[in-house]
Structure 1
Amino acid sequence: MMTNKEVEAALDKIQPPDDLFEQMARQKDGFAKNTVLAFKRISNGEAQGLADRDARCTDDPPAVLWCSACQQAGVVNWMGDKEPEERPCHSAWVPYKKRKIMLHDTTKESVEVREEGDGIACPWCGAKGALRHSEYMRQGVCEQLIPTVPYVLGEALLLVQWIAEERIVPDGLAWRKDRTVLPMRAWLAEERGVRVWAKTVRRYGHCFERLSGWEPRQYNGDKLATPYFYTRRPPKLAGTWLENSKLWQWMRETYELQTFAPLAYLALYRKHRNAEVLVTAGCGALLGGWIKKECAVEDWYSSAARYKVPKLAWVQWKQRRPSAMLGLTRQQLRECLGAQCNDTAKTVYIRNGAAQGLSMEECAALCNWCDEYCLLEMMAQCKALPGGLQKGIRYLQKQKKSWSFLHDYWDMQAKLGVDLDADAALRWPKNLLAAHDRAAAALKYEKDKRKEAAFARMTDRLRGLCWAHDGICIRPAESIRELVEEGKVLHHCVGGYGDAHCAGRCIFFIRHERRPERSWYTLQVDVAQKRVLQNHGYKNEYVGGRVRKIPQAVEDFVDAWQREVLAKWTLPMDKKPKKEARAKAGHAA
């Protein structure tokens, strides 16, 4: 095992491949190949130096046109600073800021006028790109990519990230391309684990800070995930612990699918050396998809920012043959890999479909009807039931409902204590929608019944706060239904305060003593702290487009009630039912 100092010395000597830019430009996920054609006005004397590439067609002032694809510059007509009356008769008037050029198109034998930002074909190489003025090019046009390049260091695999930049900068009369490659991070994948070093760190605002040297960092999971990877001429792994890992074969099968996660695969191979058997058997693409679905941790932008350590617990890792590892026969595995269907259908077939007697065609049809997650959950739930999965599928298709709807019904019945296996009509009701609604209503009734009991107990404890004074009276709310009615009459949100009332932030009704049944004002009080939280009337006093004041008589009544009743009152102990109290005592014991 190499020491940190030895690894850092080796990292200082490592160089990027000579063809890094060319290789990344050829790859599907490499440089965007955005061609820029830059232009600016020049003098007649400067134009004479570009006489061999002259595409002018009028006597208008000259401008230089430079193409980033062929990196050649030529002369065209400048049309950006002429007054309207001085323009040629065939050119339309445009404001000064709308800079234009005119050039002769040799392919069409015509005159073309192009405005800044338009698409244009290079008159010398034919590459198509965007027309940009020199003001746009002042800060340079940069394209950046962070590819990962593999190396072999001793008996370990070294993965180095490079910051590759291609920048277009001014160069005398025209422009030029500058390419820079700087090291960023390095992962040393050893048999015992992974070590990380950093040479450049990312700061706020997507800026990079160059460190003085390679600094070791703590390995906090696979943040390499699925990188841009230098796939040409990967190093030979002979003599390393990865000699038989089939890593590069797996890379060729998964890179175009964007599921090539080298550190995640190495973590799996480190724990299960027979992972390479799946790659050799032709399951590499499937394995990449399984690792991504299980391990990818998405960030705010829904991209895989890092990977967890893969487990794939459903794979039988103690087996040696690939078919046995996946719970299939050899013939079933051959049929699965040769089937003309997507990887989702193959995954469903491997994980549960084959064991429950489904064919590949049936699994593919099911994947069009239901997503993979729900389908696998349904297979697991229905596996032990009479009729199995086939009965569940036929039932849901007849009812025209999804698996999640049926699972929700089963879950509610379990919460109600119903034994679904006691009667097939309970497990598979004739009308699933009606049965689902009945179960939901029963569950809501049970929850409300428990809440109503707690509400009533709290109200009984608040009886000592009832009071009447100067024609105004106050009392606690009697039930949740009474809260809802109060909210409907006064047009405010007290109807949803049932839980708050039970928790000690209690609701009181302020009424006229002569009409105690008529809603007037609603008071909320924290009875533990003896503090008024809020007091509101009709529409929270917002009537006719402005906020009304609470009558002084009501405010005086609340102040007197706090002073004479609330301050002298003590909240009684909660008298819970005996069964509930015994159950809690037994649980605590």
Structure 2
Amino acid sequence: MKKKAIERIPYIGLKKNIRSKTVKYIGITAIRIVGHEKHLFLEVYRNAKKQSEPVVRVVLNKKEFGTYITETGEWNRRQIMPDEYYDPRFIWNTPDEYGCTQKELEKQNILQSPEDLDRIKKFCKGVEVWDSSKWWKYIYRYEQNMSITARRKAEDRRYERRQNALNDRISHTKELPEKEILETADCLYFHHAHYLYYKKRGCFAQIACSKCGGVTTARWKAGISFESQFQCSIEEPREGQTGTCPLCGAHGEYKCQGKVKGYHSKSIHLFLGQKYKERGMVLRYVEVTKAWRLGLIEGKNGTEMFNSSEELSGVEIARAYFEPGKKLQIDYHKHDCYDGKDFWDDCNLYGNANITIREAPILEETYQEMEGTIFQYSALKKYVAAVRENINPVDYFERYQQTPQIEVLTKLGLIGVVKELVRYRYGIAVDQNAQRPDEFLGIRKERVKQLIAAKGDLGLLKTMQMEKWMQQVWTKEQIEHLTETGLGREQIETVTRYMSLQKLLNRIEKYSGCEYGTKCSSAEQKIRSTAITYTDYLSMRQSLGYDLSNTVYQNPRDLQAAHDEMVLESHKEEIDKRLKEVAMRFPGIQARYRELRKKYFYEDEEYLIRPARSAEEITMEGRILHHCVGRDTYLERYDRGESYILMLRDKKQPERPYITVEIDGQKPHIRQWYGAHDRKPDERNMQRWLNQYLLQLEKATPLIRTRTA
């Protein structure tokens, strides 16, 4: 549309205004020739005297349309109205004029003469409108048809470009070495697994071998007759044990015929990287399945085995293409249910059917194919060898393109750091543009060797970053010990105002009763829990106005008791009020204690667990451990029997809060458990202990009971 030429055409002009006050806008039309092509001009004026310029000028031709706003002198591609049914307002309406009915629109917006309507009808040929009084619908539907046509053409062009690019990728992708992949998978991951299906009948056993497919009968128990000396004999077949096929001599695992449904399989996923075009790389995600089948038939003696087989198959699921200067493109292998054909597409499926690329082993050929590509120096092989677990190379390559420093970090042995970057957790990177590791990670230069020795441990890195941010110079041992405590910058800054860092570490070690650097998870969790309790105690002392330079306040005899005392003192009035409130609202918790104790109480040599004695105890548990168990939500669930709150304690200190457990009231299932500050102290060991506790509940055996705790 020639907009400049249209702007030079004079306005049609409003000949006269309408006296009716209900009419707000008047439309005038005209046919003009612009660039040897007919154009329909619609100018809308306000119904007022001396209107020399229209509010808007709408121009249409056979191929396109445009709207000119006279007030701003701008063009746009907005239609005459957003929607004729659900949003009936015009582009010339002001915000206070929105929300009119169809009848009000007819009265407020009219054409100057019937000739204007005739021009609109004639120009918008082929557009059907049942009520010609709604003249604007001719223009709206004419514009809509052009918009739909233009949108479809644009979509078709985009689809064609996508298909051409997809076909180009397929044509430049090497042929998949299916035979080599299947052989490698069978050797390295399935370990040439075969099965020997058996069914015993007296002294004999019928054996079906999945490798050779043969079925034979052999004696597994020695006989006393002369003929038994010449019969085929085998060891007694037992489920899960290894045996030898009497026919082909293959070793396989015994499986009882009665426990096999006729078909079972195992699947694994593999990555194969191949060079793509000149310097690109394509990662191919393949699923390999090994299936074993047992053929059954009805015989004289019931169900009998007549053959057995095994099949190795594979299918390529996705391809990830990497090219210099281009974004990652992943193509997916799909199946059309209507014509029964497989095809490749450049977009994923939707919803629950979404194809996910997960961690999987990488075939050795990938590293050879990387030579001469953009990932030649990506250090992928070294990273895989260091992590000793399956990874997703698509994520690794994508992060490597974004952060080439990954190569240096991997070769230095900072595997913990690289893991975080591959998982797209860039919070550990202080300066992503820096080339030196110390500047990239925001630590002191002399700390790099220590971090390398720890294989890029994230806890140690956090402490080193904190050291530089606080402009401190700590010793190597202090950094390691401070990492074990798990303290944050704000906690350290608060405490070191009144004592040195070394004194803080010494007191934490003293109160915890555990030494630093033992590599014992229980000791580490004890140190971490003590550190949190001690710094929390000092923080509450400070907020209450105590002078922390006083060593008596810094060194309480019993840290936990002093901490609990500070909790009560900090919010004494609030706590007293809360305790009275919950005691009145939830008296049933205390009334049911004896009944629930018989069911849930359990103890061993180290720990005991019991239900809460009252609503007040639950509230105080939440206050002391600084978590949310004392809220009404938990108390209401406890009162209704939906779930119960259990107290897990150290047997040496049975009244000192340690871990709070919420257990389902209907079945032995732990909903959640937390220690102080919503953390899980000694998580691995405590989770194992709780799992054992659940087994005791499920067995419904009499639990160990002692006197009331």
2-side partners of 1:123 and 1:488: how far apart? 68
Asked whether the 8 Å contact 2:582–2:615 carries over to 1, the reply is no
Residues 1:16 and 2:176 aligned together: yes
Write the distance in 2 (CA, Å) between the matches of 1:394 and 1:311: 34
Q: TM-score by structure 2 length? A: 0.45
Counterpart of 1:404 in structure 2 is 529
Amino acid at match of 1:21: L
| d(CA) in 1 for partners of 2:487, 2:378 | 32
Query: For residue 359 of structure 1, what is the aligned residue in structure 2?
Result: 476
Q: Is the 8 A contact 1:225 1:263 kept in 2?
A: no
Residue 437 of structure 1, CA deviation: 1.0
Q: What do residues 430-454 of structure 1 show as CA deviations (whole Å, max 9, x unaligned)? A: 53212211122224524336759xx
Say if 1:160 and 1:183, in contact at 8 Å, map to a contact too. yes
Counterpart selection for 2:559 from 408, 416, 432: 432
SS state at 1:177 partner: strand
Cα distance in 1 for partners of 2:451, 2:247 equals 53
Deviation of residue 140 (structure 1)?
2.8
Conservation of the 8 A alpha-carbon contact between 2:511 and 2:530: no
Q: Could you tell me the TM-score, scaled by structure 1's length?
A: 0.53
> 2:565 and 2:175 mapped to 1: Cα distance?
70
Q: Deviations over 1:21-42 (max 9, x none)?
A: 3333555xx3365431235799
Equivalent residue, structure 2, for 1:503: none
1:510-589 paired onto structure 2 within 5 Å = none
Which segment is superposed worse, 347-356 or 227-236? Answer: 347-356
SS in 2 for 1:276: helix
Question: Is the aligned partner of 1:38 residue 2:192?
Answer: no
Distance of 1:434 and 1:14 partners within structure 2: 71
Deviation digits for residues 332-370 of structure 1 (CA, Å, limit 9, x no counterpart): 544654x5xx647x544444259553437x777x5xxx9
CA deviation profile, 1:393-429 (whole Å, cap 9, x unmatched): 2111111263334424544765783467853545554
- How far does the alpha carbon of each residue in 1:255-309 deviate from its partner, in whole angstroms, 9 at most, with x for none? xx226342333343333322222123333x33344447xx4xxxxxxxxxxxxx2
Could you say which residue in structure 2 is the equivalent of 1:506? none
Query: Of 204, 209, 212, which aligns to 1:66?
Result: 209
Counterpart amino acid of residue 267 in structure 2 = Q
Q: Which residues in structure 2 correspond to 1:368-387 (within 5 Å)? A: 375-378=485-488, 381-382=491-492, 385=496
CA contact (8 A) 1:409 1:439 kept: no
- Which of 123, 142, 155 is matched with 2:265 structurally? 142
**3-state SS in 1 of match to 2:575:** helix
Q: Tell me which residue corresponds to 1:160.
A: 284
What is residue 234 of structure 1 aligned with on the other side?
Answer: 367
User: Residues of 1 paired with 2:554 and 2:322: CA distance?
Assistant: 52
The residue type paired with residue 77 of structure 1 is A
The separation in 2 between residues aligned to 1:253 and 1:168, in whole angstroms, is: 35
Q: Is the 8 A contact 1:319 1:325 kept in 2?
A: yes
CA deviation profile, 1:241-265 (whole Å, cap 9, x unmatched) = 54543334433433xx226342333
Alpha-carbon contact 1:156-1:188 (below 8 Å) kept: yes
Bigger radius of gyration among the two: 2
Spell out, residue by residue over 1:194-225, the C-alpha distance to the aligned partner (whole angstroms, 9 max, x if none).
Answer: 33333259xxxxxxx98654351289999535
Matches within 5 A, 1:224-303: 224-234=357-367, 236-237=369-370, 241-254=374-387, 257-258=388-389, 260-283=391-414, 285-291=415-421, 295=423
Correspondence for 1:184? 317
CA separation of 1:119/1:196 partners in 2, compared to 1, >3 Å: closer, same or farther? same
Cα distance change of structure 1 residues 353 and 424 upon mapping to structure 2, 3 Å threshold: farther
Query: Are 1:423 and 2:554 an aligned pair?
Result: no
**Equivalence for 1:197:** 331
1:310 alignment partner, one of 422, 425, 440: 425
Q: Distance in 2 between matches of 1:23 and 1:153?
A: 23
Residue 77, structure 1, aligned to residue 207, structure 2? no
Any conservation in 2 of the 1:188–1:196 contact (CA below 8 Å)?
yes
The alignment-based identity, stated in percent, is: 13
Superposed CA offset, 1:511-538 (max 9, x none): xxxxxxxxxxxxxxxxxxxxxxxxx9xx
Aligned length: 395
Distance 1:412 1:210 in 2: 69
1:390 pairs with 2:502? yes
1:312 deviates by 4.2
Closer, same or farther: CA 258–7 of 1 in aligned 2, 3 Å: farther
Is contact 1:268-1:311 (8 Å) kept?
no
Query: How much does 1:19 deviate?
Result: 1.7
Residue identity matched to 2:436: R
By how many angstroms is 1:230 displaced? Answer: 2.2
- The aligned amino acid for 1:5 is Q
Residue identity opposite 2:549 in structure 1: D
Shift of 1:159: 2.4
User: RMSD across aligned C-alpha pairs, in angstroms?
Assistant: 5.1
Residues 377, 413 of structure 1: alpha-carbon distance in 2 compared, 3 angstrom cutoff: closer
Counterpart secondary structure, 1:113: coil
Conserved? CA contact 1:281–1:322, under 8 Å: no
Query: Which amino acid in the other structure matches residue 423 of structure 1?
Result: S
List gaps (5 residues or longer) in structure 2: 1-159, 226-230, 296-304, 468-472, 513-525, 594-611, 617-638, 640-709
Q: CA shift at 1:72, angstroms?
A: 7.6
| Contact 1:149–1:159 (Cα < 8 Å) also in 2 | yes
Pair 1:21–1:485, CA change in 2 (3 A): closer
What's the counterpart of residue 293 of structure 2? 169
SS of 2:281 mapped into structure 1 = strand
